[in-house]
Chain A
Amino acid sequence: MSAHQLTIEPLGEEIEVAEGQTILDACLRAGVYLPHACGHGLCGTCKTQVLDGEIDHGEASSFALMDFERDEGFVLACTATIKSDVTIEADVEEDPDARKISVRDFVGEVVALENLTGDVKGVRLALRDGPIDFQAGQYVNLLLPGIAASRAFSIANAPSDAGHVELQIRRVPGGAATGYVHESLKVGDRLTLTGPQGRFIVRKSRGGPLLFLAGGTGVSSPRSMILDLLEEGYAEPITLVHGVRTQADLYGREEFEALARSHMNFRYAPALSHEPDDSEWRGERGFVHDVARKLFEGVFEGSTAYLCGPPPMIEACIATLMQGRLFEKHIFTERFFTAKDCAEKPKSPVFRRL
């Protein structure tokens, strides 16, 4: 089984494609959305230009992909497989805010471990072979001793602190990797990480008010983003709603409250969904989307929203934002395509990214 390299222009993104894997499948799994519909070579929605390299058209219908188009180098991404390293030009928009930073391996030494809550561990790694260049919101893949596959964790510190990588790792019940972090990881341990990865970044060029909706450890990316924005002097309003179950699950509060005091444009709203009614908590109660709706009186038009957290929270927030007139173009979420996502029940083509 040999793999080939697929370069996706205009993004310049390079991904590995396995023998027999279609271009569409490879792109979707890498988080690059290509328009598609029928999925088996009949409709032509996923037509894509090959700039370089050898491909096999597979079962592309001769009515969906014409001979003259084949001569011009077009393929149907849903049926085409690649026979060499290939470059395609996809119908994707170039993102003016995304920098091209090449991914590389780093060695990080654990310099601090902190129990942020009962089940969230803060891990601070000092990079021993040079600083990491990354955009706030990106993640790294972390290799742990005795665990075969790497695990993805968002970077919680600002890019200005390039000599370190801070991670906030919740213990997944029964999870081998997070179990290791919580039980066995010690200060002084050295770990290998690969990064930076991902396209969940702040679209600074758009300007305007920003809304961060985070659930649980989903706050790590927004923390990096907000620290970065405030350091740069971003002047537009920034709101963070951080949802957790109870006060015991809340962390980072002192830091965000201090930032809110020192920056007029930053508003911090921790939201507790399962805090006992009779507790002394004076802050917001309810789910993230409910609190966001209340704070914004249901109207989000004009903002850009960044969502990070468990899928039900993301889904509820998307519906709330859309009913508050904020649509797909202005909503960004952290989303990974896995084999499971592709095999799920029929998905409608209404939304591309969300």
Chain B
Amino acid sequence: MTAKKLGLKQRYAHMTRGLDWETSYQPMDKVFPYDTFEGIKIKDWSAWEDPFRLTMDAYWKFQAEKERKLYAVIDAFAQNNGQTGVTDGRYANVLKLFLTGISPEEYQAHRGFAYAGRHLRGVGPRVAAQMQSLDELRHIQTQIHTISHYNKYFDGLAEFPHMHDRVWYLSVPKSFFDDARSAGPFEFMIAIGFAFEYVLTNLLFVPFMSGAAYNGDMSTVTFGFSAQSDESRHMTLGIEVIKFLLEQHPDNLPIVQKWVDKWFWRGHRVLGLVAMMMDYMLPKPVMSWKEAWEIYFTEAGGALFQDLARYGLRPPKYADIATAEAEHISHQNWAIFYQYTHAAAFHTWLPDAKHMDWLSEKYPNTFDKYYRPRFEMWGQMAKEGKRFYNMALPQLCQTCQIPMGYTEPGDPTTICFRKTQFRGETYHFCSDGCKDIFEAEPEKFAQAWLPVHQIFQGNCGGATIPDVLNYYRMNVGADNMDYVGSPDEKLWNEWQADKIRTAV
């Protein structure tokens, strides 16, 4: 009689068991020094269920084939001058925002998962975190390669890593990941693995990738497809992590709840950049931010938190405020970038009449009432040669580092200010969510590197705006300011003229 065939799970267990061991000449607590201080209690690491059963051998094979396919598309895109076939020259600004604000966070995620993959004691989560670490490294590489083609033609892309580390608004995503990476390994897994890669990932990923598809950027779309099969693995890891922590010990629930509250709010703030991209920067919009929020957070997140309620976990604190803000956040963010266009690494513009009608239709409760009048006034001012620039440096929120331009919940004509005292100093916040986060860990957030404070302290190249822009390596007049009249626009118009000539 032949031996009974093993199931997939058993086969995987046989292939991977014994890859870990109890250390003998050093105590385990010294080898894994960081997996206890957060208060998370793990009774049985072996209860971890591998959410995907992928061996390293299969992983390499899989990723290698994906690379070959992606690079074939990127090459074809370059050879066919795909950059001339996108909907409008303005589209390149979406890529600038992505490359300066998102791609470096893929690298941060790579570093963070490498840390979790080193410091979690259980072999199952460690292997999963290590694989995700490699995925994230691959993602930033493929993003750089995909977008590098646009760098041959458009401004604002060349200095992306440098800018990420210095430019004021890029400190928003950067400080988000710095916060996660300087936390313990469990908090990192909840922050990035669960809150970001599961709860909020579709709000980041889908807008950029569908935006690319709608606007003729096939190379970025292909990158998106090549990443999506990794993303699904990351999502299952995020779910497994939260289940594992909640099932291991009842004392973990309040800790996990605190992290879910914190990282939901922090993630929601970072995604304000995506909201603005969706509503204002795509020449051909896919859907509004509000619609995306309804589908991906209200509905999908609602189903998720309904299931997690069985563990006693409640939906993130201030989720209701975030949902109400979906009516406002993109308009308020674009207004901030418009008035600080001289310090942004991408171009800005006012929505034209057709685009404003689209916004009216998508935001019937807020756009005409609060935001259209402002954009129309700025349009009028520009026509009169008085284009509005805000030359004062904004106050930043101590937690999310966004300029304090957001309004009170339920009152869109009053700016929201919150403050608190810590060690004799006053700290300022854009919202109750950000204030709560500070107050839970004031020692950490009091150390935040706030770009405006740093400028005033003389740490950013000098006392004048040109000094600071030089420190940012911003090529004034090319990387920043209005799209209209920019070298990008001139180039785009030449391409269009060429096309017409060729057609004739």
Q: Footprint of B on A, CB under 8 Å?
A: 10, 35, 37-38, 42-45, 61-64, 66-69, 89-94, 318-319, 322-323, 325, 327, 345-351
Answer whether A37 and B310 are a contact pair too, CB < 8 Å, given A346-B303, A350-B243: no
Q: Given A35, A44, A319, which contacts B309 in the complex, CB threshold below 8 Å?
A: A319
B190 to chain A, nearest CB (A): 14
Asked if B236 contacts A42 (CB within 8 A), the reply is no
Q: Given B8, B65, B236, B306, which contacts A45 in the complex, CB threshold below 8 Å?
A: B236
CA distance A94 to B61 in the complex (A): 29
B7 at the interface (CB under 8 A from A): yes
Asked if A348 contacts B7 (CB within 8 A), the reply is no
Asked if B66 contacts A346 (CB within 8 A), the reply is no
Main secondary structure of the interface of A (DSSP, over half): loop
Residues of B within 8 A of A37 (CB): 232, 235-236
Asked if A323 contacts B225 (CB within 8 A), the reply is no
Q: Given A43, A64, A90, A350, which contacts B304 in the complex, CB threshold below 8 Å?
A: A350
Residues of B within 8 A of A66 (CB): 61-62, 65-66
Residues of B within 8 A of A350 (CB): 239, 243, 304, 307-308
A-B contact pairs, 14 of them (CB 8 A): A42-B225, A43-B229, A44-B229, A45-B52, A62-B69, A63-B226, A69-B62, A91-B8, A91-B9, A91-B53, A345-B299, A349-B239, A350-B239, A351-B307
Residues of B within 8 A of A91 (CB): 8-9, 53
Residues of B within 8 A of A62 (CB): 69
Asked if A348 contacts B62 (CB within 8 A), the reply is no
CA distance A348 to B232 in the complex (A): 13
A205 to chain B, nearest CB (A): 16
Answer whether A64 and B229 are a contact pair too, CB < 8 Å, given A345-B303, A346-B300, A350-B304: yes
Residues of B within 8 A of A318 (CB): 310
> Which residues 243-269 of B sit at the A interface, judged by CB distance below 8 A?
243, 247, 250
CA distance A94 to B5 in the complex (A): 11
Q: Given A35, A63, A346, which contacts B69 in the complex, CB threshold below 8 Å?
A: A63
> Which residues 33-76 of B sit at the A interface, judged by CB distance below 8 A?
52-53, 61-62, 65-66, 69-70
Asked if A63 contacts B229 (CB within 8 A), the reply is yes
Asked if B312 contacts A348 (CB within 8 A), the reply is no
CA distance A45 to B54 in the complex (A): 11
A42 and chain B: residue at smallest CB distance: B228
B110 to chain A, nearest CB (A): 20
B311 at the interface (CB under 8 A from A): yes
Q: From B307, B309, B310, name the one whose CB has the most chain A CB atoms within 10 angstroms.
A: B310
A348 to chain B, nearest CB (A): 4
CA distance A62 to B225 in the complex (A): 9
> Which residues 298-347 of B sit at the A interface, judged by CB distance below 8 A?
299-300, 302-304, 306-312
B231 at the interface (CB under 8 A from A): yes
A321 to chain B, nearest CB (A): 8
A11 and chain B: residue at smallest CB distance: B7
Asked if B65 contacts A67 (CB within 8 A), the reply is yes
CA distance A349 to B239 in the complex (A): 8
CA distance A22 to B66 in the complex (A): 25
Number of interface residues of B (CB under 8 A): 37
CA distance A62 to B72 in the complex (A): 13
Q: Identify the 3 closest CB pairs spanning chains A and B, nearest first.
A: A43-B232, A348-B304, A350-B307
Q: Given A323, A349, A351, which contacts B236 in the complex, CB threshold below 8 Å?
A: A349
A69 and chain B: residue at smallest CB distance: B62
Residues of B within 8 A of A319 (CB): 309-310
Q: From A66, A90, A322, A323, name the one whose CB has the most chain B CB atoms within 10 angstroms.
A: A66
Residues of A within 8 A of B5 (CB): 10
Asked if B236 contacts A63 (CB within 8 A), the reply is no
Q: Given B65, B299, B309, B310, which contacts A346 in the complex, CB threshold below 8 Å?
A: B299
Q: From B232, B306, B311, name the one whose CB has the most chain A CB atoms within 10 angstroms.
A: B232
Residues of B within 8 A of A347 (CB): 303
Q: Mark B218-248, 1 if CB is under 8 A from A, else 0.
A: 0000000110110111011001000100010
B205 to chain A, nearest CB (A): 11
Asked if A348 contacts B307 (CB within 8 A), the reply is yes
Residues of B within 8 A of A90 (CB): 8
> Which residues 267-297 of B sit at the A interface, judged by CB distance below 8 A?
none
A349 and chain B: residue at smallest CB distance: B239
A324 and chain B: residue at smallest CB distance: B250
CA distance A318 to B8 in the complex (A): 28
B51 and chain A: residue at smallest CB distance: A35
Residues of B within 8 A of A63 (CB): 66, 69-70, 225-226, 228-229
Residues of B within 8 A of A38 (CB): 228, 232
Residues of A within 8 A of B7 (CB): 10, 92-94
Residues of B within 8 A of A322 (CB): 310-312
Asked if A93 contacts B65 (CB within 8 A), the reply is no
Residues of A within 8 A of B250 (CB): 325
Asked if A44 contacts B232 (CB within 8 A), the reply is yes
CA distance A35 to B49 in the complex (A): 13
Residues of A within 8 A of B310 (CB): 318-319, 322-323
Residues of B within 8 A of A346 (CB): 299-300, 302-303
A351 and chain B: residue at smallest CB distance: B307
B250 and chain A: residue at smallest CB distance: A325
Residues of B within 8 A of A89 (CB): 8
Residues of A within 8 A of B228 (CB): 38, 42-43, 61, 63-64
CA distance A64 to B69 in the complex (A): 12
Asked if B312 contacts A323 (CB within 8 A), the reply is yes
CA distance A346 to B302 in the complex (A): 9
B218 to chain A, nearest CB (A): 14
B56 to chain A, nearest CB (A): 16
B63 and chain A: residue at smallest CB distance: A66
Residues of A within 8 A of B231 (CB): 43
B16 to chain A, nearest CB (A): 15
CA distance A91 to B12 in the complex (A): 11
CA distance A350 to B199 in the complex (A): 12
Answer whether A45 and B309 are a contact pair too, CB < 8 Å, given A91-B8, A345-B303: no
In the complex, besides A66-B65, A348-B307, 17 extra interface pairs with C-beta distance below 8 angstroms are A10-B7, A37-B232, A37-B236, A45-B52, A63-B70, A63-B229, A68-B61, A91-B8, A91-B53, A322-B311, A323-B310, A323-B312, A325-B247, A346-B299, A346-B302, A348-B303, A349-B239
Asked if B247 contacts A327 (CB within 8 A), the reply is yes
Q: Given B229, B306, B311, which contacts A42 in the complex, CB threshold below 8 Å?
A: B229
Residues of A within 8 A of B312 (CB): 322-323
